[in-house]
Structure 1
């Protein structure tokens, strides 16, 4: 498959266009076998610069593929990072605008709100946790730009880890007050519990995921800034979001976060 005409800039432009027009496309790797992780992250960063130039503000970082099961599914042995902006925030109580998204799915997450700057390399889980101001429960609403949710790890990274929207819960807890590895979550769809997990499903421990994010960003000369939100990755499998269907994530100590889809 020829690389003629392909570049990180073209990939960023193509995926942003797919997002804005709510149009799914084929996997980039299926069309260009030259797509590697370095190019994918370059495309991701170019897309972020375009978002900022059009008025969006960076609000944090999100991790993807943090569970061993998901890593095995896509054939990798480590997570990936991506960006959050204020355009991705869904206020508590507002319905999920499904018409703005291609094929929305929801997954419960443990989220950190940073108290101070966290910069790698060499960040440990303990160092990472010490930089956190508080912890909240969250639901991330992911939305791949690829047809049928079929993509490679490189495709996903270029697509900002299937970013869509995210909502954080109202209960904020200091990290030292929690056993994050044992913090449990029940995922409920229309009143029925469909899945459950603990924080240990997230890269072994959410703080390990946070440390990974800081160290990975450091390879590109970047850091996690104070006030940013870090979504540490899906605790369970993601579930489809449909009109009128309520989804709730019930956490042991972080309360309940709910979303409902609307056309």
Structure 2
């Protein structure tokens, strides 16, 4: 069943074809979900440019015994943000945008290291940028069925738009910066990274340990999208997005439809 679900998701993504129902028996545990994700990764063979980390909030974090989840970000969906930047979502599936702080791996950890302090995790980072995660899946109900289902389809990721660098990020003042997300000129959410458990660097630590458990070697240059700062905001093709990070910058993008690939 693990392989069949992975193949269905891969086929739907390749054809840009929506799924009205989950393609099989939904995973009951996070381990089952990561097994589906790993199976899809092995079959897809695309170049990974980084990983998204999403938060799991109570009561689901208590139910699953974890407060974060991970999914791959593929290189062909990543770009530096510019005046004509566009995020792509699956028509008939699920689509959303998220304001994020993006951490870049500057030094890969030792292959035999499986646990990290927050300080050790920070030591593997060489830059932090503001950015936009495009959260999208062919499965329309992915955001309604809990974190295991989200994990099983690449963590509900379909792209990353990288904005300007955050200066002096090591002093952690960026975490207190209020971020405001607007769609078509109307504010839809605000927040700061200080609300994250152990901050955004806690997401870095989580990912390093998650990949170590899964025997996935971590590569220099990978981006880590550390979690939705203002929330997960549903979006439609044709809409316009603005994310205001105050003195750190403002990001703009439009939303288009993912074509078959």
TM-score in same-fold range (> 0.5):
yes
Contact 2:94–2:140 (CA<8 Å) still a contact in 1?
no
Where 1:181 maps in the other structure, the secondary structure is helix
Partner of 1:139 in structure 2?
132
After TM superposition, give the deviation of residue 37 of structure 1 in Å: 2.3
Partner of 1:122 in structure 2?
115
Partner of 2:85 in structure 1?
94
Contact 2:18–2:90 (CA<8 Å) still a contact in 1?
no
> Do residues 24 (structure 1) and 19 (structure 2) align?
yes
Which of 52, 58, 61 is equivalent to 1:62?
A: 52
CA distance in 2, matches of 1:110, 1:71: 23
After TM superposition, give the deviation of residue 220 of structure 1 in Å: 1.6
Partner of 1:109 in structure 2?
100
Where 2:241 maps in the other structure, the secondary structure is strand
After TM superposition, give the deviation of residue 166 of structure 1 in Å: 1.2
CA distance in 1, matches of 2:159, 2:92: 9
CA distance in 2, matches of 1:250, 1:201: 17
After TM superposition, give the deviation of residue 69 of structure 1 in Å: 5.6
Partner of 2:162 in structure 1?
168
Partner of 1:151 in structure 2?
145
After TM superposition, give the deviation of residue 76 of structure 1 in Å: 5.5
Partner of 1:3 in structure 2?
none
Which whole-Å deviations, capped at 9, do the CAs of 1:140-171 have from their partners, x for residues lacking one?
11113323343232211111111111101033
CA distance in 2, matches of 1:178, 1:32: 42
Give the count of matched residue pairs.
Answer: 251
After TM superposition, give the deviation of residue 135 of structure 1 in Å: 0.4
Q: RMSD between aligned alpha carbons?
A: 2.6
Contact 2:127–2:165 (CA<8 Å) still a contact in 1?
no
Contact 1:107–1:239 (CA<8 Å) still a contact in 2?
yes
Contact 2:88–2:134 (CA<8 Å) still a contact in 1?
no
Contact 1:25–1:146 (CA<8 Å) still a contact in 2?
yes
Contact 2:20–2:141 (CA<8 Å) still a contact in 1?
no
Higher strand fraction (1 or 2): 2
Where 2:173 maps in the other structure, the secondary structure is coil
TM-score calculated relative to the size of structure 2: 0.84
Task: Please list every run of 5 or more consecutive structure 1 residues that lacks an aligned counterpart in the other structure.
Answer: 1-5
Change (3 A) 1:184 1:101: farther
User: Bigger CA drift: 242-251 or 153-162?
Assistant: 242-251
Contact 2:240–2:252 (CA<8 Å) still a contact in 1?
yes
Task: Please list every run of 5 or more consecutive structure 2 residues that lacks an aligned counterpart in the other structure.
Answer: none
Contact 1:95–1:259 (CA<8 Å) still a contact in 2?
yes
CA distance in 1, matches of 2:236, 2:48: 28
Which of 17, 32, 35 is equivalent to 1:39?
A: 32
CA distance in 1, matches of 2:62, 2:238: 30
After TM superposition, give the deviation of residue 107 of structure 1 in Å: 0.8
Where 2:149 maps in the other structure, the secondary structure is helix
Partner of 2:67 in structure 1?
78
After TM superposition, give the deviation of residue 261 of structure 1 in Å: 1.7
Contact 1:110–1:231 (CA<8 Å) still a contact in 2?
yes
